[in-house]
Amino acid sequence: MTVSHSTDYIVSPGGALHGRIRVPGDKSISHRAVMLGAIANGQTSIRGFLQGEDTLATMAAFRAMGIKIDHGGEDVSIHGAGLYGLKPPAHPLNLGNSGTSARLLAGLLAGQKFDCEIIGDASLMKRPMRRVTDPLKEMNADISCSEQGTLPIRIRGGRRLQGIDYTLPVVSAQLKSCLLLAGLYAEGKTCIQETVATRDHTERMLQHFGCVLEKKNNAICIRGGSEFKASEIVIPADISSAAFFIIGASIAEGSDITLENAGVNPARIGVIRVLQSMGADITLTNQRIASSEPVADIRVRASQLHGIAIPPELVPNAIDEFPAIMIAAACASGKTVLRGAAELRVKESDRIAAIAEGLHAIGISVVTHDDGMEVTGGRIRGGTVNSHTDHRIAMAFAMAGLKSEEAIRIEDCTNVNTSFPGFIELAQIAGLNIRREIPGAS
């Protein structure tokens, strides 16, 4: 018997999605809750924490820096040590596959008194990091990455950071958050100017902990030395994980599903706006605020979709959902055009290439560009798709099985656990004909 650690998904044709389900907690918010809870004063209680490999890597990093964390399922208690209470880790901090962890921690650690190193898995070690190390150097951090601009990031502690005025050269909430966290340790004021608004989970959570931010036009400013107190945080369900079921229900005839308690932060619902522009039947109900974040139940019913030119202003706020959106495009009448999405090239995989390769494999016509693609809707034949170990590619093509004529095999789906543990089980409950297979197992 051949020993293999990879997992393939096999999706049989047909089916529809029904019922009321809740996807796991928001990954972006879970990361930030651990980070801010660790450097706050007092004990922070978290409910709805995502138990994915990425967020657990963040938790492990702070435990390695002396933070006591009590973890029981989705409930987490963090004993904060204050801004300067972290301890030197004995080994490099391994963030696995999590780009969010690596980039945000670079900012938080740049102002510490100790040296440290950030590493990750093979995929993360290839992702661009100069976008955070260069501005941190402008703040007087002693920080470096590899000659290729990738991990490892090495930080020498004990530097006195200086506040800066900085305009983001790329549309990146991770870069913005990195510099805001570094700004907590800087002398004076750090102001970040955005040309396009990105997700604001860091700002909302800083304020939830009692930190004072200044907002004017498109700039966010923070003053160094701003101590803040522990808090209680309720994490909503992740809209990026809900997106797979939103797309699945939109394309599968007879579907009617409700995603409960989903985060609907205005900077995260680009996927809903894109799909509604394509004709999707999506309704938000029970809208409310939980721990400074907007939350709602999302009802989705099957509809006839049509291709569109995706509005450029929606692209940054749907960047993580485009693998799923392009499955909707494959099932829509006419052509869907995506441009201005070059960031997809430097995600967990080159997602433009991976999406196009997968769509070609199941019989859909695609033309790629440096910053996007054109997808012409058609019949999904079925076939074999390489996920390129990218969790969002894997889950997106699983939903394509709802409209396929033959089975779809998606190879190497192990990394789905980074963001959506229990995906197969929840998808089966909802009505997707999916199972896992271990290649070479007998």
**Quick one: pLDDT at residue 231?**
95
Q: Does residue 42 register a pLDDT over 80?
A: yes
CATH number where 401 lies: 3.65.10.10
Catalytic residue among 54, 121, 238, 320: 320
pLDDT range class, residue 305, cuts 50, 70, 90: very high
Name the domain count of the chain.
Answer: 2
Asked, for residue 422, whether it belongs to a domain, the answer is: yes
- Dump pLDDT digits (tens) for 61-118: 999 999 999 999 899 999 999 999 999 999 999 999 999 999 999 999 999 999 999 9
Residue 442 predicted with pLDDT over 70: no
The model's pTM is 0.94
What phi, psi does 81 have (nearest 5°)?
Answer: -110, 5
Rounded percentage of the chain residues whose pLDDT exceeds 90? 95
Q: Which of 188, 203, 234 is the last residue of a domain?
A: 234
Q: Domain check: are 156 and 47 in the same one?
A: yes
What residues contact residue 338 under an 8 Å CB cut-off, 6+ apart?
A: 310, 315, 322, 325, 326, 372, 373, 374, 375
Same domain? 154 vs 270: no
pLDDT at 244 over 80: yes
Judge if 193 and 336 occupy the same domain. Answer: no
* 400 occurs within a structural domain: yes
Same domain, 59 and 98: yes
Q: Which of 198, 218, 234 is the last residue of a domain?
A: 234
Same domain, 88 and 146: yes
Same domain, 230 and 94: yes
In a domain, 2, yes or no: no
Cβ burial 268-288 (10 Å sphere, 16+ → b, else e): bbbbbbbbeebbbbbeeeeee
CA distance 386 to 394: 8
- Kindly state the tokens that stand for 113: 């008194």
What's the DSSP call for residue 338? E
The pLDDT tens digits for 399-408 are 999 999 999 9
Q: In the listed set 218, 234, 250, which residue is the last one of a domain according to the structure?
A: 234
State whether 240 and 338 are in the same domain. yes
90 found inside a domain: yes
Domain annotation covers residue 49:
yes
Burial class of residue 196 (count of CB atoms within 10 Å of its CB; 0-12, 13-18, 19+): middle
Any catalytic annotation for residue 320?
yes
In a 13 Å sphere around the CA of 405, the CA atoms on its Cβ side amount to 7
User: 322 and 361: one domain?
Assistant: yes
Instruction: Provide the domain limits for residue 120.
Output: 27-234
Per-residue model confidence as pLDDT tens digits over 105-155: 999 999 999 999 999 999 999 999 999 999 999 999 999 999 999 999 999
Q: Where are the alpha helices (DSSP H) in 362-440?
A: 391-400, 423-430
